Amino acid sequence: MPAYKAPLRDIHFAINDVLDFPGHYASLPGGEDATPDIVSAILDEAAKFAENVLSPLNPIGDREGCRWHDGEVSTPPGFRNAYRQFIDGGWLSLAQAPEWGGQALPPSLGTLVIEMLTSANHAWTMYPMLSLGAISTLQAHGSEEQKRLFLPRLIEGRWSGTMCLTEAHCGSDLGLLRTTAEPQSDGSYRISGSKMFISAGEQDLTENILHLVLARLPGAPAGVKGISLFLVPKVTVRDDGSLDGRNAVSCGSIEHKMGIHGNATCVLNFDGARGYLIGPPNKGMNCMFTFINESRLGVAQQGQGHTEASFQGALRYARERLQMRAPKRTHPDRPADPIIAHPDVRRMLLTQKAFAEGGRLLNAYCARQIDLAHLSDDPEVRRTAGQRLALLTPIAKGFLTEAAQEAASLGIQVLGGHGFIREWGMEQIARDARITAIYEGTNGIQGIDLLGRKVLDADGGLLEAFTGEIEAFCDAQQHRLGEFIGPLRLQVRQWLTLSRQIGDAVRQDPDEVGAAAVDFLMYSGYTVLAYLWALSAVTAQAHLDEGCDDTGFYRAKLQTARFYFQRLLPRTLSLVASVNAGAQSLMAMDEADFAI
């Protein structure tokens, strides 16, 4: 397994040099504790935990997997111990509310930590990530009594959370769900139904699990407008917070999966289980979207984390493996040159590097917006940040997980035959990463969310607000680094034009949304990364102009930006052509004629 090394140097570049987190934290109500020294110390400690505790467990979790026996699930050897260390270290409570035991640091700090954990061990990190989503959902939609009863234990990490949406006949289409909730005289509900694909749905890490479950009340309207959200504890909880007996929810089986073997993916059977309504009746989808949106950004981090991990493994191998003479031999004293001397190997490594570092910036950019949306005392700032997040969430989720597929596959390819062998760990990255393009809404769903809801339904307002920011950046830079600023400006204008063209086409034919969705999503992702790579280049150039020490690092930033603009951004040429082909190219064929 490639040993994970937390990329602290680049994380600091992202948050300190490019995105000015120190200034951001200083101006954020409640952010004053997050001084650069504190942030740096927290990142150092998280890096150690990721490198020394989680990374060694990653191949073990893959090999051993989770085991189901009679409704109970054992996590892989070492997972419990790591979880205990994580909780004892206070990592779960980092960015949580102090009134429930949290440390009240800005949420973005949690994001920075999660990148490292998920790079080191995706399957393990899903357990606390689901708890974090449950905490946010309860914070936003729970009653005071519910918060008092559930949040302290969740934040402490003694209890965990899950999200229970999917049923056998409904994945993307939650309107079809059948799980029911019967009101009881004591104000609770009896939940009945079967949920599947429930990540972390059963485990041996915590003494209780709080399932957040979508279900229908009697007489509820059909479709998504008749869905309510319930909290169903695995072990029922007395009013004083102490544990009572087992609730009528059980894990019927766990899935055999392509990857993330260390995380139990469960069928959960609710047989009249006692539950509590969270938020208003029939508003369950609204409430659950707090969880879903946070999870989508979490999946973006997983995608970026895999890209980073695969890059590290490939780079290490490419420096050590001697094979053939490069056109310009670099090591004449050795029997062959290291393969990093070969142009095609560099093409693969630079693609991974550009996605890893660009993706890190995108996640950090989003994390900054989360801080603002939650903590700013200016309602206009909160609103703007919320809109920016709404636009960027499907882009980050969709684009960074597609980039992860490519990066993980390139990581295998750099290793050649060894990439296909389990012990080298590169193929595990590809298997684990594969789910990120699927769960929390497939990337097809992300594309439709972006193009349909976030761009067209908003009449382009959210998009124009963001492109306005990019244009302002270009204006401010107009006499510098024209190799990036010029193409970026064109790219952004084409983004707007493309969205308007699609909007026009949709008025003629509603199939045009779905026909353009994924290509538009990918176009958007490449464009957003172009902005962030231009920002990086400008920042790096400024450091070089000032005569910094670390010239190699900043030069590499400029070179990677150049690679990105010259070799990856042109992929949008093809995406535009594909969008322009329109729905007819997809819909003309009779279903029967697809024939085998």
Please give the residues from 328 up to 367 whose contact with a copy of itself meets the rule CB under 8 A: 328, 330, 335-336, 338, 340-347, 349-350, 353
Interface with a copy of itself in residues 1-20 (CB under 8 A):
5, 7, 9
Identify whether the C-beta of residue 87 lies closer than 8 Å to the C-beta of residue 96.
no
- Based on the shown chain and the rule CB under 8 A, indicate whether residue 548 belongs to the binding site for a copy of itself: no
CB of 421 to a copy of itself, least distance (A): 5
CB proximity list for 370: less than 8 A, separation 6 or greater? 107, 108, 111, 297, 385, 389
Q: Tell me which residue has tokens 């597609």.
A: 402
Figure out which of the listed residues 114, 517, 530, 535 binds a copy of itself, where binding follows CB under 8 A.
517
Which residue in the list 202, 402, 440, 512 is annotated as catalytic? 440
- Nearest 5°: the CA angle 220, 221, 226 is 70
**Active-site annotation holds for 440:** yes
CB of 48 to a copy of itself, least distance (A): 16
Burial level of 131, CB count in 10 A (0-12/13-18/19+)? buried
CB proximity list for 475: less than 8 A, separation 6 or greater? none
Stretch that binds a copy of itself, among 13-21, 249-257, 460-468, 533-541 (CB under 8 A): 249-257
- Based on the shown chain and the rule CB under 8 A, indicate whether residue 253 belongs to the binding site for a copy of itself: no
Nearer to a copy of itself (CB atom), residue 23 or residue 416? 416
- Based on the shown chain and the rule CB under 8 A, indicate whether residue 559 belongs to the binding site for a copy of itself: yes
Stretch that binds a copy of itself, among 41-49, 363-371, 408-416, 533-541 (CB under 8 A): 408-416
Classified as helix, coil or strand, 496 is helix
Stretch that binds a copy of itself, among 108-116, 386-394, 425-433, 533-541 (CB under 8 A): 425-433
Secondary element (H or E) of residue 363: helix 343-375
DSSP 174: G
Interface with a copy of itself in residues 376-405 (CB under 8 A):
405
How far is the CA of 87 from the CAs of 84, 127, 160, 327, 592, in angstroms? 5, 12, 11, 53, 55
CB of 178 to a copy of itself, least distance (A): 10
- Based on the shown chain and the rule CB under 8 A, indicate whether residue 263 belongs to the binding site for a copy of itself: no
- Based on the shown chain and the rule CB under 8 A, indicate whether residue 67 belongs to the binding site for a copy of itself: no
Residues in the chain: 596
Site size toward a copy of itself, by CB under 8 A? 106
Burial level of 222, CB count in 10 A (0-12/13-18/19+)? exposed
Interface with a copy of itself in residues 185-224 (CB under 8 A):
197
Identify whether the C-beta of residue 59 lies closer than 8 Å to the C-beta of residue 259.
no
- Based on the shown chain and the rule CB under 8 A, indicate whether residue 21 belongs to the binding site for a copy of itself: no
- Based on the shown chain and the rule CB under 8 A, indicate whether residue 180 belongs to the binding site for a copy of itself: no
**What CA–CA distance (Å, rounded) separates 148 from 300?**
31
**What CA–CA distance (Å, rounded) separates 502 from 545?**
43
Q: Tell me which residue has tokens 């893959």.
A: 62
- Based on the shown chain and the rule CB under 8 A, indicate whether residue 513 belongs to the binding site for a copy of itself: yes
CB of 567 to a copy of itself, least distance (A): 5
CB of 139 to a copy of itself, least distance (A): 28
Q: x/- string (CB under 8 A) for a copy of itself, residues 282-321? A: -----------------------------xx--x---x--
How far is it between the farthest Cα atoms of the chain? 83
- Based on the shown chain and the rule CB under 8 A, indicate whether residue 280 belongs to the binding site for a copy of itself: no
CB of 165 to a copy of itself, least distance (A): 11
Figure out which of the listed residues 26, 472, 476, 577 binds a copy of itself, where binding follows CB under 8 A.
577
DSSP 383: H
Figure out which of the listed residues 490, 542, 548, 586 binds a copy of itself, where binding follows CB under 8 A.
586
| Sign of CA pseudo-dihedral 1, 43, 536, 572 | positive
Catalytic residues: 440
